[in-house]
Amino acid sequence: MKKCPYCAEEIKKEAVKCRYCGEFLNKPKEVIEAETSWGRVRRKKSRRGKPKMVVGSILIIAGLLATMRSCDAMGKGIGRESEFYISAAILFVGFLVYFIGRYQIWDH
Backbone angles phi, psi at 28, to 5 degrees: -60, 150
Residues 57 and 98 in one domain: yes
Q: How high is the pLDDT of residue 39? A: 53
Q: How high is the pLDDT of residue 77? A: 65
The span from the CA of 17 to the CA of 4, in Å, is: 9
Q: How high is the pLDDT of residue 34? A: 63
Our count of domains for the chain comes to 2
pLDDT average per 10 residues of sequence, the chain (108 residues) = 85 87 74 58 60 88 85 70 84 88 67
- From first CA to last CA, the distance across the chain in angstroms is 27
Residues 54 and 98 in one domain: yes
In a domain, 44, yes or no: no
In a domain, 30, yes or no: yes
Q: How high is the pLDDT of residue 107? A: 52
In a domain, 42, yes or no: no
Residues 63 and 27 in one domain: no
Residues 59 and 90 in one domain: yes
Measuring CA to CA, how many Å separate 84 from each of 14, 40, 93, 95? 62, 46, 14, 17
In a domain, 23, yes or no: yes
In a domain, 98, yes or no: yes
The alpha-helical segments, DSSP class H, found in 76-103 are 81-102
Domain hosting 11: range is: 2-37
